[in-house]
Amino acid sequence: MRPYLKYISKQFSRLILLLCALVVINIIIFIASFFNIVKADYTNSSPSKVISAIEGDCNVYGISESAQNTLNKFNIWAIYLDVDGNVVWNHQAPSDIAESYSINDMAVISKGYLNDYPVFIHTHDDGLLLLGYPKDSYVKLQPNFFSIKAIRKLPLFFFALLLFDLVLIIILYLRSKNKFISNIKPIIEGIESLASGQPINLEEKGQLSEVAESVNKASYVINRQNEARVNWISGVSHDIRTPLSLILGYSDKIKNLPQVNDEIAKYADIIGQNSIRIKDLVSDLNLFSMLEYNMQPLELSYIRISKLLRSFVADKINEGLEEPYSISLDIAPSAEQLELNCNERLIERALSNLVNNSIRHNPNGCDIKIELNSYKGKPQIIVSDNGVGVSKEFAEAQKKPHYFEALDERLDLRHGLGLIIVKQIIEAHGGTVNTPEVSSGYKTILSF
């Protein structure tokens, strides 16, 4: 799973956990609050405790003074009915309380109310003690009838309801997550493509249409800038070629004139050599822009790497290396038949840049060695020399962005595109470039 998908899933999971935690906290708060409220009803003023406190002090003959004080303390009135339903005595009973009650009246009183007063009954051998509380102080729920079978199914019902809620939450979570990902995934992929230098054109619809529009605008601006840069490099290269060809031609002509002395011929030769360097730089600029901005698709084909390397080394030898330099090729048997889907011309260009780099940094000569190995079933090319190597400053400089790639104007400018182009070519083929530290000379490993 991609990092942003993990992030989105993590955020949705946190939301679900937060909701579940909120429900649990609410249930705990409700239980605690309700318990405290109910607990307050079971203090000394509760009917059960009042009855327990005064039942021994009340009978058909009257009520004790301590019992009266208890009733007064909690604003409770009381009457005592004999077995015939007559009120034998009362304590602060309201004026609308009758003096006697029939069997039918007792049936009504047994439901918990007498003239809208909540009442509680306690039986004695010689009558009934009836405690009355102020109106609206208690509500008494009327009993209902439920079968034992229904009561036993009640926990199962609550469990099934909870399970249904959890399944519903999970379904809503998955649906919301998938909808959100489907909306944001094209935008994320577009930004990733934009970061790799590829132009994009997102469909501007849905709730994130404004974001898609902004990304498209950024892609358009970057693409225009890249096109302008490539066109500028191409135009400058074209404008340089014609006068450069004239300089090369005239310098060669001057050098070969019979009336020219050795000093002038030397200067003409220097002019010619530097003109060739400028020509190579112009070629490097064009190749750099083509690779950097993907302005031209690579023409790939499967090439046997051992054959390509033999041809390359033979061409270098036939071109005539100067005497202080030598080049050799070592192909491992396991790599003899390995093929690579590549652009043959560009791979040769990368190898040529590495060989020329060894020659340029070793004016007193060196032995250049090219090796082909098999690494995890893929070709690995090693170009090394036994020359003077590179300084620490040069090695550190290679880790900095080249001035064509740098966005920070404070970075030191490094001239020469040879190694940069090697890196671009290899990465365009899905490979990597590694330059490990060695005791002597210089080594570059190209892995595919």
Confidence of residue 92 (pLDDT cuts 50, 70, 90): very high
The proportion of the chain whose per-residue pLDDT surpasses 90, expressed as a percent, equals 9
In the chain, list all ranges with CATH 3.30.565.10.
301-404+415-447
Conformational region of residue 127, where left means phi above 0, alpha means psi within -120 to 50, and beta covers everything else: left
Please determine, for residue 368, whether its predicted confidence score (pLDDT) is greater than 60.
yes
Confidence of residue 408 (pLDDT cuts 50, 70, 90): very low
Q: What pLDDT is attached to residue 90?
A: 93
Q: Which residue has the tokens 């192909």?
A: 331
Tell me yes or no: is domain 301-404+415-447 CATH 3.10.640.10. no
Neighbours of 230 (CB within 10 A): 19
Those residues with Cβ within 8 angstroms of residue 282's Cβ, 6 or more apart along the chain or in another chain: 237, 240, 241, 244
List, for residues 203-258, the tens digit of each pLDDT value.
877 767 787 888 888 888 877 776 777 676 667 766 777 787 888 787 888 878 88
pTM of the predicted protein model:
0.46
| CATH code reported for the domain at 209-292 | 1.10.287
The proportion of the chain whose per-residue pLDDT surpasses 70, expressed as a percent, equals 81
Per-chain mean pLDDT for the chain: 79
In the chain, list all ranges with CATH 1.10.287.
209-292
Segments of 102-206 assigned E as strands: 113-114, 117-124, 127-132
Instruction: Please return the burial class of 258, using the count of CB atoms within 10 Å of its CB with bins 0-12, 13-18 and 19+.
Output: exposed
Q: What pLDDT is attached to residue 2?
A: 56
